C-alpha cells in the first residue's frame, strides 16, 4: 500500500500569509504584536522549538522576547514572571515552554497566565473553556492535528480516533477537539492494556506520547491514517517522532512526517494566536 505523506508546509504557509498581513496592519496602527516566551529548562528539543518560534515570529512581523529563567527556577519564580508579563500592557501573548524544572508541574504555574494572553491554551481556565465549548485559545499542537487532517481531507465525523498520550498540552485537548468534530475518541496511555489491540482498530491513530518508536506497524490497522506528534531527540542529534516509520509505511494509508508534518502547522497556529490576542487587546 502506498502511504501518502501528510505534510504541513502548504497549510502552514497559508496560515502564515494571513498572519503576516494582520500583523502588518497592527504594526501600522501603532505597535507590532508582542510574544513573550518564558523558558525554564535546558532541554535540546525545547531549545530547538523556541528557536523556531523566534524565527517564525521575526518572519511574520511579530516581536518576540525570550525570558530564560534557568533550569533550576522555582515555581514561585515562574509564577511571578508569568504574572508580571500578564499585567504588562506591552505584552500581547505569553507562552510557557515545557518541560519545566524538576518538581514543578504545569498545573502549579499555568494559572498565572492571563487567559486573554494564553496563546497555547495551557492554563486551567483555557482548558476549561475548551472542555465546555466556549471561546478561548486552544493548545496549538492539538489544534494543528485537527487542522492538518482537515487540510488533507481526512474525514473525522463518525470515525474512530485513537489518541496515544493524555497530556494537558496535546492528548486531552485533542480529544475535546475531535469530539467537537463528531469523532469517536479513545485516549490511550501508559496503563492501557495491549495498546496494539486498541490502536489497530482505529481509523486514525495519533501518536503523542513522547517515546521514540512507540507506534510500529503492529499498532496500525491496514489503511489507517497516522499522525505523529512526537518531537524527540534522536541519538544523532536530530528530531524524530513517536512512530517507527519503516514498519508503518506500507501499512498506513497516510502518515505525517517528523519534521515537516504537525510541527510547521503548530508554529503557524501559535503565531496566528499571537495576532488574534493583539487584535483583541486593541479592541478591548
Q: Cell numbers of 265, please?
A: 502547522
* C-beta of residue 152 within 8 angstroms of C-beta of residue 204: no
Bridge partners of residue 34, in order along the sequence: 63
Whether the CB-CB separation of 249 and 270 falls below 8 Å is answered with no
The answer to the question of whether 128 is labelled as a binding residue is no
Query: Measured between alpha carbons, how far is 36 from 94 in angstroms, rounded to an integer?
Result: 5
| Interior/surface letters 33-48, b for 16+ CB within 10 angstroms, e for the rest | bbbbbbbbbebeebeb
Q: Is 157 annotated as a binding residue?
A: no
Q: Is 166 annotated as a binding residue?
A: yes
Q: CA-to-CA distance for 33 and 155, rounded, in angstroms?
A: 35
Please check if 123 is assigned to a binding site.
no
Cβ within 8 Å of residue 26, ≥6 positions away: 32, 33, 275, 278, 279, 282
Question: Virtual CA dihedral for 68, 143, 109, 97, nearest 10 degrees?
Answer: -20
Helix (H) or strand (E) holding 135: none
Q: Residue 7: phi, psi to the nearest 5?
A: -75, 150
**Residue list, annotated binding site:** 165-167, 231
**Residue list, annotated binding site for NADP(+):** 165-167, 231
Amino acid at each position: 500500500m502506498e502511504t501518502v505523506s501528510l505534510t504541513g508546509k502548504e497549510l502552514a504557509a497559508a496560515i502564515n500569509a494571513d498572519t503576516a498581513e494582520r500583523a502588518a496592519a497592527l504594526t501600522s496602527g501603532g505597535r507590532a504584536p508582542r510574544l513573550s516566551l518564558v523558558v525554564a529548562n535546558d532541554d535540546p528539543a525545547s531549545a530547538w522549538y523556541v528557536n523556531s518560534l523566534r524565527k517564525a515570529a521575526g518572519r511574520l512581523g511579530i516581536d518576540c522576547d525570550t525570558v530564560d529563567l534557568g533550569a533550576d527556577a522555582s515555581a514561585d519564580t515562574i509564577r511571578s514572571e508569568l504574572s508580571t508579563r500578564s499585567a504588562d500592557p506591552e505584552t500581547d501573548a505569553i507562552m510557557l515552554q515545557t518541560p519545566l524544572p524538576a518538581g514543578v508541574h504545569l498545573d502549579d504555574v499555568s494559572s498565572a497566565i492571563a487567559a486573554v494572553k494564553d496563546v497555547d491554551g495551557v492554563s486551567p481556565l483555557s482548558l476549561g473553556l475548551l472542555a465546555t465549548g466556549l471561546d478561548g485559545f486552544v493548545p496549538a499542537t492539538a489544534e494543528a492535528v485537527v487542522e492538518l487532517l482537515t487540510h488533507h481531507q481526512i474525514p473525522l465525523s463518525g470515525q474512530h480516533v485513537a489518541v496515544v498520550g493524555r497530556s494537558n498540552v496535546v492528548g486531552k485537548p485533542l480529544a475535546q477537539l475531535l469530539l467537537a468534530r463528531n469523532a469517536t475518541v479513545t485516549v490511550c496511555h501508559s496503563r492501557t492494556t495491549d495498546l496494539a489491540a486498541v490502536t489497530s482498530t482505529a481509523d486514525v491513530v495519533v501518536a503523542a506520547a513522547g517515546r521514540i518508536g512507540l507506534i510500529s506497524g503492529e499498532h496500525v490497522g491496514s489503511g489507517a491514517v497516522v499522525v505523529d506528534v512526537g518531537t524527540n531527540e534522536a541519538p544523532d542529534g536530530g528530531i524524530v517522532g513517536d512512530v517507527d516509520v519503516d514498519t508503518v509505511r506500507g501499512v498506513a494509508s497516510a502518515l505525517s512526517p517528523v519534521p515537516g508534518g504537525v510541527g510547521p502547522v503548530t508554529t503557524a497556529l501559535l503565531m496566528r494566536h499571537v495576532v488574534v490576542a493583539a487584535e483583541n487587546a486593541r479592541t478591548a
